[in-house]
Chain A
Amino acid sequence: MPDALAVSLNGKTLTVPIGTTVAAVVFIAGQSSFRRSVSGRPRGPLCGMGVCFECRVTVDGVRHVKSCQTLCKQGMQIDTDE
């Protein structure tokens, strides 16, 4: 069993341990902003538990996925709204 998997964040490939959430991947890549607010401000996670919706990103083309509650899967394509 491999203990790591590869995902792509905004087109760049990263290898992360199994059990890593999509939110953690964005931080691992050194990014802080996950999305733009309705008035265009950068935002990142607040609650870390699926309540605030500030961490939403696009996963495999599906928009508004809560990255803090989504576990990475092999080959997953993650896009932040930068």
Chain B
Amino acid sequence: MAAAVSAADCGASVLLVDDNPALGGQIWRGEEANPSVREARRWTERLQHSSVEIVRGFRIFDQLRPGVLVAESADGMREIRYSRLILCTGARERFLPFPGWTLPNVMGAGGLQALAKAGMPIREKRVVVAGTGPLLLPVAVYLKRHGARVQLVAEQASRNSLLRFASVLLRHSGKLAQALGIFGSLAGTPFRFGCWPVEAKGDDRLRSVVFQQGSRTFEIECDYLACGFHLVPNLELASLLGCEVKDGTVAVNELQQSSIAEVYCAGEPTGIGGVDLAIVEGQIAGFAAAGQQQKAQRMFPERARHRDFANALEKAFALRPELKKLARNDTFICRCEDVAFDRLAHCRSWREAKLYTRCGMGPCQGRICGAATKFMFGWGAESVRPPAFEARVESLMGTKESAPEVRV
């Protein structure tokens, strides 16, 4: 939204293509219809008053040739032409396999919140929030505010690393106030550092979760486990377009420009940093893509400040090595194809795992198990091939017809 508005303010003709029916992405989910966050309301209003044309519910799945993308919605497909492209593809939660993580009612932390926002009843439900990252506490607050009984918030990061993080928070007064507000609303909810889930138990659904803290283990009965291990960037589209990806993020220069000159990238794909950093990067990308480099440059100091915070965040919530060892031999790592740990333990690479076990070959195309195996085994995906997302056969046929003729 920030990128689109900024580019349009410079006089560029802007088309905003959103994968979801409502604007706001994952963090500002629902804000367009019922604004509750001031920044979200501000950007929604700026967008409404701008000349930006908005296309909703369209997911870009391929690039026919440079400057021509194809996108699909529930009702059809369309071509999208651009001279400059700004990718703001966001992030998803990282999930790590542990025994029982495939049981129904074990879900992501952001996942449970998203479902609750969409009408899933949580009042009086017993919920345990676990994993790592700055998302856990706001999710716990949301659930509690909507009547859920939050039994425990378990953060795998140690008390020391979070205390170091707290000292960085002191430099960012806005964030500090936010953090204090969160702790205030969680009064009475048990919170543990250095604590992580080792097993989810149940039959046809989750019944209880076993946690480890130091050398001690304990079990908590619950209806839902909301468990995510921070975030991983959505890189599929950038990779498909051929943008250079380095250390798991899209490589960009100071103007948010990728290795392909006409493609810019802002927000989580260039490094997980949260909404404030994403807004500033979006503005820089918007200005730069519209040819207003000076305007973009004026925002560099603000970006540096948020980037400093993002770096501290990444350090504070680094995954502890014990989490690599949670899966047992029969724990499914790939949920689409039900590939268990012992079948993957013999593979040497992501490619070998795909070829021999079908790991990562199901409908999610490795979006869940890819991040897990990267952490557990150090594997990385070598390439992304079109379609970057699942697409209907009719849409794929459509792209054939409109593809340029080949002359021999």
Interface residue SS majority, chain B: loop
Residue among B20, B108, B118, B119 making CB contact with A47, cutoff 8 Å: B108
Residue among A28, A64, A69 making CB contact with B120, cutoff 8 Å: A28
B110, closest chain A residue (CB): A48
Specify which chain B residues have a CB less than 8 angstroms from the CB of A44 in the assembled complex: 104-105, 107, 205
Tell me if B338 and A39 are in contact (CB < 8 A).
yes
Inter-chain CA distance A40–B106, complex, in Å, is 17
Tell me if A24 and B368 are in contact (CB < 8 A).
no
Report A55-82 residues with CB < 8 Å from chain B CB. 56, 64, 68-69, 71
Specify which chain A residues have a CB less than 8 angstroms from the CB of B26 in the assembled complex: 49
Q: Size class of B's contact patch? A: 35 or more
A41 with B338, Cβ < 8 A, contacts A27-B121, A28-B121, A47-B92 known: yes
B21 at the interface (CB under 8 A from A): yes
B345 to chain A, nearest CB (A): 19
Specify which chain B residues have a CB less than 8 angstroms from the CB of A46 in the assembled complex: 95, 106-108, 111, 335, 368
B246 to chain A, nearest CB (A): 23
Tell me if B108 and A43 are in contact (CB < 8 A).
no
Inter-chain CA distance A51–B235, complex, in Å, is 13
A32 at the interface (CB under 8 A from B): yes
A43 with B335, Cβ < 8 A, contacts A27-B120, A37-B102 known: yes
Specify which chain A residues have a CB less than 8 angstroms from the CB of B206 in the assembled complex: 32
Inter-chain CA distance A64–B315, complex, in Å, is 39
Tell me if A54 and B114 are in contact (CB < 8 A).
no
B241 at the interface (CB under 8 A from A): no
A38, closest chain B residue (CB): B338
Residue among B19, B107, B335, B367 making CB contact with A48, cutoff 8 Å: B107
Residue among B118, B204, B337, B363 making CB contact with A20, cutoff 8 Å: B118
B115, closest chain A residue (CB): A48
A42 with B104, Cβ < 8 A, contacts A48-B114, A68-B114 known: yes
Given A19-B33, A34-B104, 11 additional A-B pairs, CB 8 A:
A20-B119, A21-B115, A24-B119, A42-B104, A47-B111, A47-B368, A48-B118, A51-B367, A52-B367, A54-B335, A68-B118
List 18 interface pairs A-B (beta carbons < 8 Å), by A numbering: A19-B33, A24-B119, A32-B206, A33-B204, A37-B332, A38-B337, A39-B338, A41-B102, A42-B104, A42-B204, A43-B335, A44-B105, A45-B115, A47-B368, A48-B112, A51-B368, A52-B367, A52-B368
Closest 10 CB pairs of A and B: A44-B104, A24-B119, A48-B111, A48-B114, A20-B119, A32-B104, A21-B118, A32-B205, A53-B363, A27-B120
